[in-house]
């Protein structure tokens, strides 16, 4: 005694987006289990079925060419399983760039988020191989915050070595591997020689006299990496603090991707 509305939703399943399929599936399951749904759930059963097959609006993109960021992460992925760049806005809000994993719908795109654990992260969109940055239709962040992220990414496009240096000097850790910067040279550059090699940044030609042992004005920005998926569709990383090497091996730990 299947409800007509449920049958309609079942038929619509193949045309739904990945997240809606999951949601629709749970509604159908609950209906089949209990033989009933709440009014609110019926609303969604009808809405999901009605919206299925409707053309999706064109995603909004941010003005600018962000291809250098895609290039950087993609080049680094030759030697790192989960290449990441840690950044902050001018105001200190965390930004994390990483690559979408092989099981993601956006495989190979650069994912832009605040690096928080899945469920409580802020998602700023994705950068495709052509360098276009598409922002989510719905976001937890406001326009103002978004502009701050956009400004930080534009700066990174302009002068990655300077941004990396500023991050390193501000937080005392490398924006690529997250390790604490200990040598004079690393503190000056904002990253160590290994990351310089992996990320194609200058090393050795840095004037170490630039090194100023000024007090760190902030602790590294939250959220700390945890053993949780960072953003729904891609990689997971381990605690980098636990590894005493200059360059974190955790980047290449064989952790299963979470879809
Ligand atoms: Zn590093």
Ligand 1 centroid to Cα of residue 179, in Å, is 6
Beta partners for residue 80, in sequence order? none
What is the per-residue pLDDT across 12-23, written as a single tens digit (0 to 9) for each?
Answer: 888 887 778 888
By residue range, what is the domain housing residue 13? Answer: 4-51
Ligand 1 centroid to Cα of residue 194, in Å, is 7
What pLDDT is stored for residue 60 in this prediction? Answer: 77
Position 25 pLDDT exceeds 80: yes
Is the residue at 237 inside a domain?
A: yes
Ligand 1 centroid to Cα of residue 151, in Å, is 23
How many structural domains comprise the chain?
2
More confident of the two residues 186 and 218: 186
Is the residue at 188 inside a domain?
A: yes
Ligand 1 centroid to Cα of residue 175, in Å, is 7
Token pair belonging to 81: 């399983």
Ligand 1 centroid to Cα of residue 174, in Å, is 5
What pLDDT is stored for residue 223 in this prediction? Answer: 56
- Indicate whether 175 and 102 sit together in one domain: yes
Q: Match 């064109």 to its residue by tokens.
A: 58
Ligand 1 centroid to Cα of residue 162, in Å, is 14
More confident of the two residues 97 and 243: 97
What is the per-residue pLDDT across 142-201, written as a single tens digit (0 to 9) for each?
Answer: 778 888 999 999 999 999 999 999 999 999 999 999 999 999 899 989 999 999 999 999
- Indicate whether 120 and 189 sit together in one domain: yes
Q: What φ, ψ does residue 112 adopt, rounded to 5°?
A: -115, 120
Position 228 pLDDT exceeds 60: no
Ligand 1 centroid to Cα of residue 15, in Å, is 43
Average pLDDT over residues 92-111: 93
- Indicate whether 47 and 96 sit together in one domain: no
Is the residue at 157 inside a domain?
A: yes
Beta partners for residue 126, in sequence order? 111, 134
What is the per-residue pLDDT across 102-120, written as a single tens digit (0 to 9) for each?
Answer: 888 899 999 999 998 877 8
Is the residue at 90 inside a domain?
A: yes
Is the residue at 257 inside a domain?
A: no
What pLDDT is stored for residue 217 in this prediction? Answer: 57
72-86, 147-161, 196-210, 235-249: the lowest-pLDDT one: 235-249
Ligand 1 centroid to Cα of residue 145, in Å, is 27
Is the residue at 243 inside a domain?
A: yes
Ligand 1 centroid to Cα of residue 229, in Å, is 21
Average pLDDT over residues 66-94: 95
Position 235 pLDDT exceeds 90: no
Average pLDDT over residues 43-69: 83
Is the residue at 39 inside a domain?
A: yes
What pLDDT is stored for residue 2 in this prediction? Answer: 66
Q: What share of the chain has pLDDT > 70, as a percent?
A: 75
- Indicate whether 158 and 242 sit together in one domain: yes
For the chain, what is the HEC assignment?
CCCHHHHHHHHHHHHCCHHHHHHHHHHHHHHHHHCCCCHHHHHHHHHHHHHCCCCCCCCEEECCCCHHHHHHHHHHCCCCCCCEEEEECCCCCEEEEEECCCCCCCCCCEEEECCCCCCCCCEEEEECCCCCEEECCCCCCCHHHHHHHHHHHHHHHHCHHHHHHHHHHHHCECCCCCCECCCHHHHHHCCCHHHHHHHCCCCCCCCHHHCCCCCCCCCCCCCCCCCCECCCCCCECCCHHHCCCCCCCHHHCCCCCCC
Q: What share of the chain has pLDDT > 90, as a percent?
A: 52
What pLDDT is stored for residue 121 in this prediction? Answer: 85
Position 207 pLDDT exceeds 90: no
- Indicate whether 245 and 189 sit together in one domain: yes
- Indicate whether 21 and 133 sit together in one domain: no
- Indicate whether 226 and 197 sit together in one domain: yes
Position 50 pLDDT exceeds 80: yes
Spatial CA neighbour of 95 closest among 112, 72, 77: 112
Task: Report which listed range, 10-24, 73-87, 227-241, is most confident.
Answer: 73-87
- Indicate whether 121 and 33 sit together in one domain: no
Is the residue at 256 inside a domain?
A: no
- Indicate whether 138 and 202 sit together in one domain: yes
- Indicate whether 47 and 65 sit together in one domain: no
Instruction: Report the distance separating Cα 117 and Cα 45, nearest Å.
Output: 29
């Amino acid at each position: 005694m299947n409800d007509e509305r449920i049958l309609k939703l079942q038929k619509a399943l193949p045309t739904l987006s990945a997240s809606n399929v999951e949601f629709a599936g749970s509604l159908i399951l609950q209906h089949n289990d209990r033989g009933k749904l709440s009014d609110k759930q019926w609303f969604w059963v009808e809405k999901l079925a009605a919206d299925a097959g409707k053309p999706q609006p064109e995603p909004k993109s941010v003005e600018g060419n962000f291809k250098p960021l895609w290039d950087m992460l993609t080049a680094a992925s030759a030697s790192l399983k989960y290449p990441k760049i840690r950044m902050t806005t001018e105001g200190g809000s965390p930004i994390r760039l990483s690559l979408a994993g092989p099981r993601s719908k956006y495989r190979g795109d650069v994912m832009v988020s605040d690096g928080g654990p899945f469920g409580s992260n802020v998602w700023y969109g994705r950068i495709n191989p052509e360098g276009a940055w598409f922002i989510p239709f719905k976001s937890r962040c406001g326009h103002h915050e978004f502009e701050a992220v956009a400004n930080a990414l534009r700066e990174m496009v302009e002068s990655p070595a300077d941004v990396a240096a500023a991050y390193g000097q501000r937080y005392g850790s490398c924006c690529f591997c997250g390790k604490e910067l200990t040598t004079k040279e690393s503190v000056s550059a904002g990253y160590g020689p290994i990351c310089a090699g992996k990320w194609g940044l200058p090393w050795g030609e840095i004037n170490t006299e630039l090194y100023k042992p000024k007090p760190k004005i902030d602790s590294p920005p939250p959220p700390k990496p945890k053993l949780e998926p960072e953003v729904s569709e891609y990689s997971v990383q381990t605690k980098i603090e636990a590894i005493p090497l200059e360059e974190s091996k955790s980047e290449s730990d064989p952790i299963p991707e979470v879809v």
